[in-house]
Amino acid sequence: MSHFRISAIAVLSILVFLFTGAAYGTTNIPVGSPVYQELEYLELKGLIASAMLSSKPVSRRDARQLVFEAQESLRTRRVPASSLSQKIIERLKTEYGSEEKSRFRLSEKTAYLKASYFGRTPYFQNINNNGDSLIGGFNGRVGLSAGADFYDSVSIYLNPEYRIDEGSSNTELPLGYIDLEIGWANILAGRDSLWWGSGYNGALLVSNNAKPFDMVKFTTSHPVILPWFLGRLGLFKPTVFLARLEENRDFPSANLLGMRLDFKPTRHFQFALNRTFMFGGEGRRSLEASDWLRVFVASNSSEHETSPINGNQLASIDASYIYMNSNYPWLPLSAAKFYTEWGAEDSSGKTKTPSNRANMYGVYIDEPLFLKDTDLRVEWANTARHTLDTLEWYSHLIYRTGYTFEGRVIGHHIGGDSKDIFIRGQHYINSDLRVALEAERNWADIHSNSRKKRDWIGVDFNYAMPKSLTLSGSLGYEKEKNGFGGDTKNTVAFLKLEKAF
């Protein structure tokens, strides 16, 4: 995008920011927002039955409905008003407000400042951050985000950002889209981030590790119940997107099609079927109507290297189950969310069996070891399940640039041929302030001579201050050891101040 177009968008955002009043709307809560942690916390407490938080982003309207659902659950269960859950709900109610209709309203108006310092270019601070590239030394980000709704059916969201580091400065538009709601259908056109799966540290097919896509996305405005016997599958929400990838790759401007079907048969169990398909691009034949069926069933003609319609296909199934501990007081937890994702890549043609696999497991525990207002998360990922004579996860014989966008893996940040263990403990000092300690070890390029081992340990906090100010930050240390005996070490410091109007 040219600097002129970005500057014009920035000016438009500032005018909307300054001259419109605050209200509440249907734009999306950006992937990575701390609000998702709070909603998942309320879900783990058993206060939200209809949440489908494994598919992000969630709209502000859906978040508002979930907050009111949590409030009603508290009322009927008569949980003390002084509980942490009650205070979190009250704060979220203030943020997401009422459901009053109007011809025009501003759903969000936020300004933020981010500053960071690194001894050298970091690894762990450059993951799951919408493709932002932080380098060694000082990095600064100043941005505005503004969302507007018209007649409760059309929404516009813009997020211009000025970026500066020790070597350069530029203006970016990380997110910007128009969203149209027609009855039960929701259509988004523009640039937005996605996350598919219950994982906190990564997702196998779609995450916000890479830059947000320029795409068209279709989903339902809220979960629905399927007709006939399919209603036994419970709440249902489909999502389909079509994105155009960057020009600087082996097949410029290749396409990425993504499809997800979310199901929630019970209040504690949900699962989803996922599939992505990279196809087309300059130098590749465009798919015709007769090709799509062969692509979907992975027929022999679409899975051979010489086929003009052979594309990079990935599929996965993810699931989660919440266990509420109401019968065993001796068990050192009040609840636990168990989740997993299993992925397969590129069928082998005649047998239709995948030529590659990957998996991820996790558990999210409330009040571990009877520690009140505390939670613990442990997550394991493995993309190194291939053999030496097969391609590694996220690679392809035709699309050799790999399953990437602008140089970043679209799925799990560890990439292919890697394993990763992630642990995070978090404690709410009060409803406005939470602190966390996390550690991660990543084994990369396991089947090669250049294998690496990366370690991270850090502490972070998030403080919702008075007057709609939010202060967050982190301090940590990372270390990398490669297969040739070399070590690199790095110190990390990050601070973000955000003001909502």
Which amino acid does the sequence have at 426? Answer: Q
Question: What's 288's DSSP letter?
Answer: P
Burial pattern 378-403, b for ≥16 Cβ within 10 A else e, equals: bbbbbbbebeeeebbbbbbebbebbb
470 inside domain: no
DSSP, residue by residue, 462-497: EEEETTTEEEEEEEEEEEEEETTS-EEEEEEEEEEE
Distance between CA 354 and CA 350 in Å, rounded?
Answer: 11
Residue 313 backbone zone (phi > 0: left; psi -120 to 50: alpha; other: beta): beta
How many other C-beta atoms lie within 10 A of the C-beta of residue 156? 20
Distance between CA 279 and CA 288 in Å, rounded?
Answer: 12
192 inside domain: no
Distance between CA 369 and CA 258 in Å, rounded?
Answer: 40
pLDDT in tens, the chain (501 residues): 444 444 444 444 444 443 443 334 478 999 999 999 999 999 999 999 888 999 999 998 899 999 999 988 888 876 555 588 888 998 888 887 665 666 777 777 899 999 999 988 899 999 999 999 999 999 999 999 998 888 778 899 999 999 999 888 999 999 999 999 888 889 999 999 999 999 999 999 999 999 999 999 999 988 888 888 888 889 999 999 999 999 999 999 999 999 999 999 999 999 999 999 998 889 887 777 766 666 666 665 556 666 666 788 899 999 999 999 988 999 999 999 999 999 998 665 555 566 678 999 999 999 999 999 999 999 999 999 776 666 789 988 888 999 999 999 999 999 999 999 999 999 999 989 999 999 999 999 998 888 899 999 999 999 988 888 899 999 999 999 886 556 788 888 888 888 775
Q: Cα 150 to chain center, whole Å? A: 27
**Domain total for the chain?**
1
64 inside domain: yes
Between the CA of residue 305 and those of 319, 358, 379, what are the distances in Å? Answer: 32, 22, 35
263 inside domain: no
Residues β-bridged to residue 213: 192
305 inside domain: no
3-state class (DSSP) for residue 334 = coil
User: What was the pLDDT predicted at 374?
Assistant: 95
What interhelical angle do 35-44 and 60-77 show, nearest 10?
30
49 inside domain: yes
Which three-class secondary structure string do you get for 175-201? EEEEEEEECCEEEEEEEECCEECCCCC
User: What was the pLDDT predicted at 80?
Assistant: 59
DSSP, residue by residue, 342-406: EEEEEE-SSS--EEEEEEEEEEEEESGGG-TTEEEEEEEEE---S-TTSPPTT--SS-TT-SEET
User: What was the pLDDT predicted at 388?
Assistant: 61
| CB contact at 8 A, 243 and 404 | no
How many other C-beta atoms lie within 10 A of the C-beta of residue 331? 11
451 inside domain: no
Burial of 21 (0-12, 13-18, 19+ CB in 10 A): exposed
What interhelical angle do 84-96 and 35-44 show, nearest 10?
140
Look up the domain containing 59 and give its range.
24-99
| CB contact at 8 A, 427 and 439 | no
User: What was the pLDDT predicted at 495?
Assistant: 82
Q: Cα 272 to chain center, whole Å? A: 15
33 inside domain: yes
